[in-house]
Structure 1
Amino acid sequence: MGSNKTIDSELQGAGSKLGLEIWCVENLRLVSVPQSSHGKFFSGSAYVVLHTALLKSGALQHDIHYWLGKDANEVDSALASDKTLELDAALGSQSVQYKEVQGQETGKFLSYFKPCIIPVEGVYSSGQVKSKSPAYETRLLTCKGDRVVHVKEVPFSRSSLNHRDVFILDTSSKIFQFSGCNSSIQERAKALEVVQYIKENKHNGKCEVVTIEDGKFVGDAEVGEFWNFFGGYAPIPRDQPLAQQQPQTSAVKLFWITLQGKFTQSGSGRLKRSMLESNKCYMLDGDVQIFVWMGRITSITERKTSISAAEDFLRAQEKPVNTHLAFLTEGSETAIFKSYFDDWPQTVESKLYEEGREKVAAMFKQKGYDVEELPDEDDKPHIDCNGTLKVWRVNSGKLSPVPVADQRKLYSGDCYTVQYIYSANGREERLFYIWLGNRSSTEDRDDAISLTSVIVDSTKGDPVLARIVENKEPSQFFMIFQSLIMFKGGMSSRYKSIVAEKGIDDETYDDKKTALFRIQGTNRDNMQAVQVDQVSRSLNSSYCYILKAEGSIFTWLGNLSTTRDHDLLYRMLDFINPTWQPILVREGSEPDVFWDALGGKTEYPKEKEIKRFTEDPHLFVCTFTEGKDNLYYILKHYFVKEIFSYTQDDLTTEDVLILDCYTEIFVWVGHNSVVKSMQQALSIGLVRFLQTLLFIFALTILKCQYA
C-alpha cells in the first residue's frame, strides 16, 4: 500500500467535495481540468475522472475512471492507469475504478456528462484546444442510446446513413437531425438534446436546427438542402438484419492472478465468497464485463501487475470492444460483482448510518432547531391513507371476502388479497397487495398470486400490484391498515388440513389460549400487534408487549421503549379487546406468574435495536430478445442493464424497468412493452430478486401512468 507521501500533489485533498474532479495527463504529469472544461475530452489525451457521491449511510462513494482517447500515446495511457491506483490509495482504497476507451465508454461514465460527450481532435494543453483545423468543419455524427448517448463521428458520406440510427449533420450555419425510420422515439429525443448541446457549445446558440424524417422528401426546401450536402438525394439501402443480441450464457470464471501476472483458474459458474483471499488479486470473467478484485492487504505493485495482466487477457481473448474493465478493492464491491457469488454476506454498517443521521441532526441544530430524534425516511406516507380497504382470504382455490370487522386481522397460515382505493391527481387509483403468511401452504400462495393477477389485469386504469411476505412488510402497507393484528395460525381450509395431516397443534388464536403480542409502529395511524411465540426469548427491551395468560392480562414495558411506544401499547390493547384490564409490568420487576406463563425466564435481547440504513437504490432496464410473448420465453430471454444518474425521463413507455431498493423491488411496466400481464411482471421481479441475492421485503409492480 502506498502512503500519502507518495501521492501526487495534484491529488491531495481529492474526493473531499461532491461531484466531479478531472485531471489530464500533460507532459508526463497530471494537471487539473477546470470545471468550465468538464465534458470536453481530447482524443489525443488521457484523463483521470473522480466522481464523489454521498450515500444514504452517510459515507462517501468514490468512482474513478481513466479515459483514454483513441489517439492517446501508450505512455500517457499507462500514467493515467497508475494515477488511478494512486488516487484510490489516497482515498483509503475504497473506490471502484473503471477503464474507459473512447467510443466504448460505460453508461456510468456517460451519465456524468448530460447529454453527451463529443471528443475533440487534438490534445489538451492547459485548457486550450490545439485544433487540427481553425475553420469550422462540417461533421456527420451518429447518436446511439436512449438514456446515455454514445456520439461518434462517422465518415461524411451517404453510405454512413441507415434507417435504424439517428444522425446529426453539423454545418457552419445549420444543424440537421436525420432520424432513421427504424430508430426509437427515445433515441430521437436524446439526439435532439445533443443537437441543442452542439448549438449552445459550438455555435454560441446562433444557428438553425432542422429535423429530417427518413422517407419524407417531398416539398421541403430544407430536406433538399440536407441531401445537397451528400450530392443530391438517393435512396438509402435497406438495413441488413442485425445479429440478434442474446443474453450471455458462458460460464463465469474466476482466476487468481499470481505475482508474475499469470492466471490460475480457481472457480467457475456460481462462486463462493470464500474463494477470495485478502492477500491475493483475482480476475472475474463475466463476459460482458471483466472485474479485477484486489485484496485489502495487497500492495500497489501487485495491483498494477493484476491490472496489466487483465488488459493483456482482454486483448489475447479477443473480447468484444464493448467489454468493460472494472477494478475493485476488497470492501468496495459493486452490486453486480456481488451477484456472481451465491453467499455474499449481507453486512450492515449500522455505525455509518447512525453517524450519518447525527451529521444531519447537527446541521438542523446549527440552524436553531431542537432535534430530539430524526424521523425515519419511510414514516411519511406516499399516498392518501384515508381510502377504502377491501380484503379477501385465499380459501380452497378461491378468494373469499373477509368481513369488514375482521379485515384488519391477518393470520400467518393464510394468504390474502388486499385492494386499496384512494384519490390522487383528481382520479381514483387502485393499489393491490398480495400478502403471503409465513405458515401458508404453497398452493395458497400460488393461488393468491394467480387469482390476484387476474383481477388486476381486468381492472380499468393502471392499478399497482405489490407482493409481500409476512414480517417483511413495507411501511406503506401498515399505513393503509392503520391498526393491524397479525395472529398465529390460520383460517383457510388448507392450513387446517396441514395441521390435521401432520398431527400438530393448531396455533390459531382464541381467547382461551395464552398469547404474547409485540407492539410496534410509529404513530396512531401506523401501529401493529404481532403475535409471537409465548416464550421469554421473544421479548426485546426495545419494545412493549401484551401477554394474555390464564385469568390475567399483562402489559410489559421494555427498558429501551419510549413514551410513544407506551401510547401505542394502550391503543392496541383497546383495539384487540377493550374489555381487558391489564396489569402493568416494567422490565426487571416481573412477578413469577409472568415468567410462568412464558415457560420460565430465559435470556432475550436487551441491546438497543438499531434500524439498518436503507441501501441506495439502483435502476435497471430489462432488455428482451425478440420472440414469443409467453412467460417462459420472456423469463429465459431477458437481461438487465443498470441506468446511472437516472431521472423520471428514464420511465419510457417501451421499457420494463426494475428499481432495486434493497428492501423493496419495484417493476415499472411501460404501456408499449413486451410484458402484458401482472403475472409476467411479478415473475420478472422475482427472477431479479434471485439474481441480486438480496433480502426482498416487497415486490411492487407499477404500470406507467399519466396525470
Structure 2
Amino acid sequence: MAVSMKNVDVAFQGVGQKPGMDIWRIEDFKPVLLPKESHGKFYTGDSYIVLKTTALKTGGFHYDIHFWLGKKTSQDEAGTAAIKTVELDAALGGRAVQYRETQEHETDLFLSYFKPCIIPMEGGVASGFKKVEVGKVEPRLFVVKGRRAVRVAQVPFARSSLNHDDVFVLDTESTIFQFNGATSSIQERGKALEVVQYIKDTDHDGKCEVIIIDDGTLGSEADTGQFWVLFGGFAPLSKKAAVVDDAPELLKAKLLCIVEGSFKEVEISKEVLDSNKCYLLDCGTELYIWAGRNTSLDVRKAAISIVEGFITNQKRLKHTQITRIIEGFETLEFRSYFDKWPLNGQQPVSEEGRGKVAALLKQQGLNTKGILKGSPTKEEIPPLPNLSGKIEVWRVEGDQKKEVDAGEVGKFYDSSCYIVLYTYQGAERKEEYLLCNWIGRHTSVEDKAASVRIMNEMCAAFKGRAVQAYIAQGKEPIQFLAMFKCMCTLKEHTGPGLKENAIMLVRVRSAGPHIVVAVQVEPLSVSLNSADCFLLQTNSKLYAWSGNLSSAENQKAVLRVAEVLKPGVVARPVKESLEPPIFWSSLGGKRKYAGHREPKDGPKDPRLYACNLSKGNLKIIEVHNFMQEDLLTEDIMILDSHNAIYEWVGQHASRDNKGLTLDIAKKYVERAARLDGLQPETPIFIVTEGNEPAFFTTFFSWDPSKVNVNGDAYARMVAGLQGRPAPKEKAQRRLTPSASAGARDSSTQRAAAMAALSSQLTSEGILSQGRLSEGRLSKVAQTLINQNSNSAPVSPRFHRPSTANSQRAAAMAALSFMLGPKAGPASTVSVDADWVAGSSPFTKVEATGDTESTGSRSEDGGDDGVEVTEFYSYDRLKSSSTDPAPKINIKRKEAYLSPEDFEKLFGISKVQFYEMPKWKQDQRKRNLQLF
C-alpha cells in the first residue's frame, strides 16, 4: 500500500515509537490524545481509539489497535473511530491488527490492558452528556463475570437483577456490598473482590466499609438486613433466565470476497486470498476483514463501512466482534480457520512498510528514532536446576528399564529410549524432581510405548510431584543438557558400546557454561562445518578438528569430549586446512563441506493458553498479558516459549483431562506447528500445581506466597478489604471447585452457627413450653462457643439473606445439632489424593468432628515420642559412621541431634520437621544418611 501522510490524521504522526499505550477520544470527529492519567476512564457516550505498542524479543514492535464504542455513542462517532483506526494503521506501516470493541462485550485482549477492570462512566464529551455531579451517590449495582478477563456491567438497581449464579457488587455512599450467588465460582468471587478494591480506592478514597453477603449461608442479621433493606426487604430470588441470542452463531465459517460493495463466497483457502482485494471471514459472532497488502487506504476504509452494513443487514448482534488484519500479519485465530497455512514468507512487508513510513515522517521533519526495527533481545538461559543433585538413568529394554552404569551416564544411543531422574534441592530447601523421557531418533514404536508406560508408573509413585519432560533426540532443552555437563549421542552398534578401531566422527558444540553436546555423524567429509569442532577416531589415532569459524568454547569442549569417549587417549589438535592426509582418507576423501553457522530460531515472546480436550478436539483460549494469578486450579494451561512447551496442570482440573496431559500437549504442538511454525519435536514439560520449578516460574513475576495450596487466597483477600488480620495458614483439606462455590468445611459451619446462636439466644427471653430460661440458654450457648472457638478458623463475614424467623429456626437447628452426640472420627478426605497429598507441604489432617488432629508429637521424637536425654554429633549418627552412637532408637536418629546441629543440617527446626509428611521426613533423612 502506498502511504501518503496527507490521508493520515496529524494526531497519529510519530506514534508507535516506543512500548506503551496511547488513547484518543473522538471529539468533533477528530482524535484527541488523552493524558496518561485518563487511561482506563471511558464514558458511555464516547468513542475511543487505543493503540498498544509491544516490544518483541525479535527487536521489532507489535501493534494492536482497538476502537471502543460506548453504549450511547452516536453512529457518526462510531464511524469516525472506525475510519481513523485505518489511518492509524497506515501511519504505523500497515502492520497492526485492529479490533472493534463494544461496551460490555470487549475482547479479552482489550480487558487485559486495564487491570482489574474498566467501569464506564455515564456521560460523554461529543455526545453532549455531562459527567455526574459529585454529591449524593446513588447506589449502583454491577454484575461481575469472568475468571481471568473481568467484565463489569451495570444492571438495574433492583432485586430482580440478582440471581444465584453470578457475583454482584453494590456500591453505596458509605458501604460496598459483594453478593456471591450460591452457585457462583470461587474464581469470579475472587475477581469481584478486585473490583470492590478498585471501586473502594477510586470512588471512596479507600475509606468505606466492605461487607460480603454469601447467598445461601448463615450470617449476622445486622449486615444481612442492611443489604436487603436497600432492596425493600428480603424475598426469594428467581432463577436466572436463559439468554437467547438474536442471531444464532454460524456452525461453519464462510470466506467472502468484497467486490464493489457486495460479497461473493469463495473457498476458504490461503491460495484464494488476492493481495489486491479485501475479504470477509464470517465466523458467526466473529468477523475478520483481511486486506491484501496492495489495497489502497480508501479501499480499506470502505471495507470497514461495508462490513458494518453487513452486520445490520444480516441482523447480527450489535456487539459482533470485528477484527481487521493486513496480509502478512495474520493472527493465530484467523489462520486456524484454514486447513493449510504456509508459513514461509510470513510477515513479508514488515520492515519495508516501516521503512516507508519512517522516510515520509523524516521528510516532514519528524523524529523517526525508534520507528525502525531495534536489536533483537538476546535469548536468556532459563534458571537451571541445582547442579549438585543426584542423577539416575535407565535404558528401556523391552518392557523393563535397566539402570545405566555410572561410567556410561551421559551417553545415549539413537535406537533406544531412556528414563532420567534428577533429584535436587529447589527453592526454600524443597526437594524437587525432574523426570525425563528421552527418545532416540531410530527408536522402535514398541520401545516408545514402553517408555511412556514406565514414565506414567514412576510419576504415579511420585504423587504428581515430579516435573515430567518428554524429549526427542536433537531437541534437548538446556535443563536436560545441564544435568550431564557432557552429553554424547551415539549411533547404535551390535554391542552396548562402540566397536574397537571403528572410524567415528563426532560433532562437538558448547551449549552453555560447562555444558557440552556431542553428536555422532556420518564419517564423511561432507559432515564437517567450519563453524564447529569435530572429534575423529581412526583405526589408530584421535583427532580434535577445529573449524576456522569455531569459537574458543567449542575448541575447549572437543578436548573434554575426547576424555569422555576415549579416556587416557590424547587427542591430536588439528586446525582446518592443516589436516594430515590420513585425516581425509579416513573420511573417504576431501569434499566440499559447509562453511557457515547454522541459523537458529530467533527468540519469541511466550504465550499462555487455557486448554481443554473433549472428544479428541482441543479447545484453546489465549490468556493475554498473563500473570501468576491466571493459573487457575481447575484448568490445564500451556505456556509456549517456542523453544519448549510447559503444560501446567491445576490440582482440581478434571480427572479426564488429567489423564490426557501428554495427549493435550502433543495436540497443541501439532496445532502450533501448523499455524505458528513450532518445531514438531519441541520438548514438552508437564508441571503440576504446587510443584513449579524455577525454569517455569521465571516466565511470571512469581510470588511463592500466592501459591494457593490451602485454598485460602479468597479469605486473605476478604480480610485485607475489611481491614482484618489475614487468617493463619493451617493444614486443611482442599475443597473441590463445586464444594468451594457454596459449601465450607464443618468447622467453618460451626463457627457461623455459633455466631448466630450467640446473637439469637442472648437476645430472647424464656422460650415457650418449658424450654430453658434465658440465663440457662445464654450459658449453654456461651459454653458451646467457648468449646468451638479454638477450632473455628477465622473466616470472612459470610451472610445469608433470611428473615428473623428463619434466623431463629436456624439457630435452634444449630443448637440441636451441637447438643446432640458428636460424630466419630471421620476418615481423612483427600481430593485427588494422588496429587494433592504429594504436592502439599503440609501434613494430612484427620477430620474429627469440629477439631483437627495431627497426632501427638514430641519436639525431639516425632511420632514415636522418643525421649532424648543426650545429644550426639552428626558424624556419630549417620549410617556410614565408624563410631556410631550407643543405645539410640535407629528409627529416630535425627532426634539425637542438638537443636543447633539439626537446624544446620535440615535447614528447619525440629518442630517444622515433624509437621512434614512422613514420606518427606524419610526422604530428608535418607539424603543425610540418618535413615
TM range (shorter): 0.7 to 0.9
Aligned partners of 1:623 and 1:641 also within 8 Å: no
Q: Is the 8 A contact 1:142 1:168 kept in 2?
A: yes
Does 160-169 or 533-542 show the bigger shift?
Answer: 533-542
Letter in 1 for 2:634: E
Is structure 2 residue 454 aligned with structure 1 residue 451? Answer: yes
Q: Which residue of 2 aligns with 1:498?
A: none
Residue 663 of structure 2, aligned match among 677, 683, 688: 683
Q: 1:602 to 1:675 in 2, by over 3 A?
A: farther
Q: Paired residue for 2:775?
A: none
> Which residue is 1:306 aligned to?
303
| Aligned partner (choices 322, 346, 356) of residue 325 of structure 1 | 322
Letter in 2 for 1:335: L
Q: Quick one: which amino acid aligns to residue 435 of structure 1?
A: W
- The answer to whether residue 707 in structure 2 is matched with residue 704 in structure 1 is no
Aligned match for 2:293, one of 288, 292, 296: 296
Structure 1, residues 361-384: CA drift from partner, whole Å, max 9, x if none? xxxxxxxxxxxx999534353321
Once the two structures are superposed, what CA deviation does each residue of 1:414-438 show, in whole Å capped at 9, x if it has no partner?
A: 1111111111122211111111111
Q: Does 1:345 align with 2:343?
A: yes
| 1:73-84 superposed matches below 5 A | 73-84=74-85
Paired residue for 2:610?
A: 621
Matched residue, 1:58: 59
In the alignment, structure 1 residue 421 sits paired with structure 2 residue 423: yes
- The answer on whether the counterparts of 1:24 and 1:45 sit within 8 Å (CA) in structure 2 is yes
Aligned partners of 1:194 and 1:129: how far apart in 2? 25
Shift of 1:681: 0.8
| Aligned-pair CA distance for 1:603 | 3.0
Q: How does 1:377-392 map to 2 (within 5 A)?
A: 377-392=379-394
Residue 137 (structure 1) shift? 2.0
Does the 8 A contact of 2:612 with 2:657 survive in 1? Answer: no
Once residues 291 and 376 of structure 2 are traced to their aligned partners in structure 1, the CA distance between those partners, rounded to angstroms, is 38
Please give the residue correspondences for 1:144-163 in structure 2 after superposition, counting only pairs within 5 Å. 144-163=145-164
- How far apart, CA to CA, are the structure 1 residues paired with 2:263 and 2:45? 33
Aligned mates of 2:648, 2:438 — CA distance in 1 = 20
Is 1:34 aligned with 2:35? yes
Q: CA deviation at 1:490?
A: 6.5
Report what 2:49 is aligned to.
Answer: 48
**Helix, strand or coil for the counterpart of 1:193?**
helix
- Give the direction of change, closer, same or farther, for the CA distance of 1:565–1:127 in structure 2 (3 Å limit): farther
Q: Deviations over 1:49-104 (max 9, x none)?
A: 00111111111111100001111111111111111110111111111111101111
Change (3 A) 1:416 1:214: same
- Which residue does the alignment assign to 1:631? none
Match of 2:483, SS? helix
* CA distance in structure 2 between the partners assigned to 1:68 and 1:491 by the alignment: 72
The match for 2:281 is: 284
User: For the Cα contact (< 8 Å) 1:467–1:699, is it kept in 2?
Assistant: yes
CA drift at 1:169? 0.6
- Aligned counterparts, 1:459-470, within 5 A: 459-460=462-463, 462-470=465-473
Matched, 1:487 2:490: yes
Correspondence for 1:643: 623
> Which residue in the other structure is 2:919 paired with?
none
Hey, what's the Cα distance between the residues in 2 that align with 1:446 and 1:379?
32
Q: In the alignment, which residue of structure 2 is the partner of 1:673?
A: 653
1:47-196 alignment, distance < 5 Å: 47-124=48-125, 130-131=131-132, 135-196=136-197
Contact 2:49 2:67 in 1 (8 A): yes
Contact kept, 8 Å, 1:453 with 1:679, in 2: the verdict is no
In structure 1, distance between residues paired with 2:483 and 2:326: 44
Is the 8 Å Cα contact of residues 386 and 480 (structure 1) preserved in structure 2? Answer: no
Aligned to 2:406: 404
Distance 2:320 2:453 in 1: 40
Which amino acid counterpart does residue 281 of structure 1 have in structure 2? C
TM-score after normalising by structure 1: 0.87
Residue in structure 2 matched with residue 434 of structure 1 by the alignment: 437
Q: Residue 466 and residue 289 in structure 1: after superposition, are their counterparts in 2 closer, same or farther (change >3 A)?
A: farther
Q: 1:275 aligns with which of 272, 277, 300?
A: 272
Unpaired runs of 5+ in structure 1? Answer: 354-372, 494-507, 625-633
Deviations 1:106-159 (A, max 9, x none): 000000000000111111369995338964221110000011100001111111
Paired AA for residue 662 in structure 2: L
CA distance in 2, matches of 1:275, 1:381: 46
Partner amino acid, structure 1, of 2:388: N
**Contact 1:509/1:515, CA 8 A, preserved across alignment:** no
Quick check: 1-10 or 118-127, which moved more? 118-127
User: Residues of 2 paired with 1:599 and 1:287: CA distance?
Assistant: 64
Deviation (angstroms), 1:509: 4.2
Partner of 1:499: none
- Partners of 1:240 and 1:481 lie apart in 2 by 61
CA contact (8 A) 2:439 2:472 kept: yes
Question: In the aligned structure 2, how far is the partner of 1:677 from the partner of 1:107?
Answer: 24
What letter is aligned with 1:276? Answer: L
Letter matched to residue 432 of structure 2: E
After TM superposition, the structure 1 stretch with the greater mean CA deviation from structure 2, 338-347 or 518-527, is 338-347
The alpha-carbon deviation at position 293 of structure 1 amounts to 1.9
Distance 1:71 1:242, change over 3 A: closer
Task: Give 1:411 shift.
Answer: 1.1
- What's the secondary structure of 2:626's corresponding residue? coil
What is the aligned residue count? 658
- Unmatched tracts of structure 2, length 5 or more: 352-374, 691-706, 708-840, 842-931
Q: How far apart are the structure 1 equivalents of 2:262 and 2:51?
A: 30
Compute the displacement of 1:27 (Å): 1.0
- Structure 1 position 281, deviation (Å): 2.1
Secondary structure at the counterpart of residue 419 of structure 1:
strand
1: CA distance, partners of 2:311 / 2:461: 51
Distance in structure 2 (CA, Å) of the matches to 1:340 and 1:536: 46
Q: Which moved more, 1:22-31 or 1:406-415?
A: 406-415
Q: Which amino acid aligns with 1:297?
A: N
Change (3 A) 1:416 1:288: farther
Bigger-Rg structure (1/2): 2
SS in 2 for 1:237: coil
Say which structure is richer in strand. Answer: 1
C-alpha contact (below 8 Å) 1:413/1:440 kept by paired residues? yes
Alignment of 1:568-607 (within 5 A): 568-607=557-596
Q: Structure 1 residues 124, 382: closer, same or farther in 2, change over 3 A?
A: farther
More deviation, 433-442/97-106: 433-442
Please give the alpha-carbon distance, in whole angstroms, between the structure 2 residues aligned to 1:423 and 1:116: 40
Taking the aligned partners of 2:499 and 2:317, their CA distance within structure 1 comes to 66
Distance in 2 (alpha carbons) for counterparts of 1:561 and 1:409: 24
Question: Which stretch of structure 1 is more off in the superposition, 456-465 or 59-68?
Answer: 456-465
Deviation at 1:276, TM superposition (A): 2.9
CA contact (8 A) 2:501 2:540 kept: no
Q: Distance in 2 between matches of 1:678 and 1:238?
A: 33
Which secondary structure does the structure 1 equivalent of 2:306 belong to? helix
Amino acid at match of 1:387: G
Judge conservation of contact 2:59–2:377 (CA < 8 Å) in 1. no
Deviations 1:291-318 (A, max 9, x none): 2221211111221233333334444555
| 8 Å contact from structure 1 (residues 136, 172) kept in 2 | yes
2:235 is aligned to: 234
